[in-house]
Every structure is written in structure tokens, then in C-alpha cells.
Amino acid sequence: MNAVADTAIFFGKFLYYFLESLVFKIIPKGKKNVSGETVLITGAGSGLGRLLAIHFASHGANLVLWDINQEGNLETCRLAKEKGDVKVYAYKCDCSDRREVYRVADKVREEVGDVTILINNAGIVTGKPFLEIPDHMVEKSFLVNVMSHFWTCKAFLPAMIKANHGHLVCISSMAGLVGINGLSDYSSSKFAAFGFAESLFLELTMIKKTKVKSTIVCPYFIKTGMFEGCTTKYPLLLPLLEQEYAAKKVFNAILEEQVYLLIPKFSYVALILKQIISPKMMIALGEYLGMDSCMTSFTGRAKAKELHPEAERKEQ
């Protein structure tokens, strides 16, 4: 194909998709029916994972709940069952352990069947300056925040591809799009999670498996306790997100098969500015927004569990 024809086709597609996106801004997309779908949520024992489980149960989806905290996981199981006549399965799983992920995944396929919606939500944060982070905690951050995504997708994606039906959900972070002071290990692992999810989305598109959907979520700090003590200078621009608000946004994005979700909306503006302004201007903007000091009073769950970071595994 010559360059002229190739360029003409590109502009035709670009214009068509631009007009399509404008139409969907005015007329919202229809929401898919998740009744009867099998939804696996990692980090389901509390916070965002628990609320997503309750939303899916309310809409008739069957649930597979994973968490290292079995007590919290069983409580989520109980709450989900109260929301409807759905099947709920709770499994204890350490998502940082590849062998355990594969072992529990085999058990799920045997006892439940194929997973059709996979939500990689489990995450940990240390919240320490770079030189104060022990090596094992750096490794743990990457194992839980991104490597577990590779393993769960390897376990459950083949069945989705075979059926050309499914949905992959990555809970990344705004810290996976913009580096944040005091979050070097967390931010870099979330960058990696975002890159993996986006690359996989494109790969599925190229192999024509367009019925296997992807949703990549990048929220600012959510009030789950994971970021306890974090502050925001201007809540109207960058609010600390309420759990229920964030859960509803994520749930609706999945139902609408939205590929990218950034919350709050100011995040879109900040991301665009990052690409066009100078580094010094970016630092000035960060100082204005309080990004340089937001982690100063961070406590999280680490104060009580510094020696056992795996016990902090909760949601983004």
C-alpha cells in the first residue's frame, strides 16, 4: 500500500473514531450485563476490592475472592452473599507467590470454572524514602503490584481468548502515570502495571480478540487505610477519594467497557501538562498541588506491620 492511500485511510479512521467518541460523550454507551459472569477479584478482603465485590454481587455476578487475609475475605464473602442469589467463593492466596497463584488458579478452574472478568486489585505500599526501603520490601512491591498481574493473566486469559469473551481490569494508580515523592517503589511498580495492561490491550486488539475487554484504572489516593496520613493541599483539584465513590466509578467503567479511567478528572489535565511543560515547570506545579509533601505524614498500615509487609496487602 502506498503512502498516500495509507495516509488517507488513517485520516478516515481517525475522523470516524473522533466523531464516535464525541457521540459517546453525548449519548453514554449502554452498560453490559454481568449477571452470570464469573468475577475474580484479588485483594478482596477490604476496601475497594470488597466494595467492587458487593457491586458485582448486586448485579448477579458470581464471585471468586482472593486475599491473603482470610478473615477479611470471608467477611467480604458474607456481605456479597447478602446482596443476591449468587455464588461466592473465597480463597486465601498470597499474590506475591507465583506458585501459589498458579496453584489456587488451578483450584478455581476445577471448582468454579473459567473466570470471565479478572480484576487485579491487590497492592501494597511502603511509603518510605528510597534509601530507607529494605530490599525485600522493594521486591515485595513489584511482586504484588505488577508481577501478580502477569501470573493471573497467564492463568485465566487463555480461556477468555478461546471464547473471545472476557474482561481484564488493572487497578494501577495516578502514581503509575506521574512519579510521586516518597513512593519510588510503589510508583515504579504501578508504572509497570499500567504498561503491562496497556500492552496486553493492544496485543489482544492486534490478534482480533476484541471481545476480551480491558479497563485500566488510575485513581489518586483512596481512603482505604492503605494511604493513611497522606494529605492533599487542594481537595477540590486532587481530593483523597472516598472508597464508595471510587468503587462506583470503577464499576461503571467496567460496565461501560471503558479502556482508561483516571480519577479525579483533574488527573487528565495534569497528565497533559506533564507532557508539554518543562521539568522545572512540572516541579513548580507539583509543589503548588502539594505533591512534594503529600507523603510527609504518611502512616498507612506499616507502623504496626513493618516487619510483615505481606499483611498489608489490600487494595489500591
CATH of the domain at 53: 3.40.50.720
CA distance 96 to 69: 13
186 as an active site residue: the answer is: yes
Q: Which amino acid is at 20?
A: E
Entry pTM: 0.90
Contact 64, 108 (CB under 8 A): yes
Provide the residue range defining the domain that includes 273.
30-315
pLDDT range class, residue 313, cuts 50, 70, 90: very low
Q: Which amino acid is at 237?
A: L
Domain assignment present for 54: yes
Give the angle 76-80-83 at the CA atoms, nearest 5°: 150
Of 89, 186, 245, 288, which one is the catalytic site residue?
186
pLDDT for 269 equals 87
Domain assignment present for 4: no
Provide the 3-class DSSP secondary structure of residue 298: coil
Share of the chain above pLDDT 70, in %: 95
Q: Which amino acid is at 184?
A: S
Q: Whose grid coordinates read 453514554?
A: 28
Domain assignment present for 224: yes
CA distance 67 to 65: 7
Q: Give the alpha-carbon dihedral of 50, 263, 194, 207, to 10 degrees.
A: 90
Q: Give the total number of structural domains in the chain.
A: 1
Q: Which residue has the higher pLDDT, 234 or 103?
A: 103
Q: Whose grid coordinates read 501494597?
A: 124
CA distance 121 to 64: 13
Domain assignment present for 2: no
What would the pLDDT profile of 89-123 be if each residue is shown by its tens digit?
999 999 999 999 999 999 999 999 999 999 999 99
pLDDT range class, residue 289, cuts 50, 70, 90: confident
Q: Which of 198-202, 206-210, 300-304, 312-316 has the highest mean pLDDT?
A: 198-202
Domain assignment present for 56: yes
Domain assignment present for 1: no
Q: Which three cell numbers stand for residue 34?
A: 454481568
Domain assignment present for 185: yes
Task: Give the containing element (helix H, strand E) for 170.
Answer: strand 166-171
Q: What is the largest CA-CA distance in the chain?
A: 64
Domain assignment present for 215: yes
Provide the 3-class DSSP secondary structure of residue 12: helix
Q: Sort residue 300 into left (φ over 0), alpha (ψ -120 to 50) or beta.
A: left
